[in-house]
Amino acid sequence: MIDNNYANKCIVCNVTNCKNHNSSKNYCSLETIRVGTHEPDPTANPCTDCKSFELKEPESFLE
């Protein structure tokens, strides 16, 4: 179970619709994340993705 009160100060993140996002601060609540790419030959920041992203449950958006 994810503890969304935990803020991993090594992983700054503002993706608030991810279920791993800290509930009140701009940090991830996971110990580690996986970063990857959707490009065959990444050349810029937008080419990279957080592969640990998980969509927050719809009812959680109302919290």
Kindly state the smallest distance separating residue 49's Cβ from ligand SF4, in Å. Answer: 9
Buried b (16+ CB within 10 A) or exposed e, 28-55: bbbeeeeeeeeeeeeeeeeeeebebbee
The CA distance from 38 to 49, in Å, is: 7
As measured in angstroms, the least distance from the Cβ of 11 to ligand SF4 is 5
Residues that bind ligand SF4 (CB under 6 A): 11, 13, 15, 18, 20-21, 28, 30, 33, 50, 52-53
In the bound complex, what is the minimum distance in angstroms from residue 63's beta carbon to ligand SF4?
15
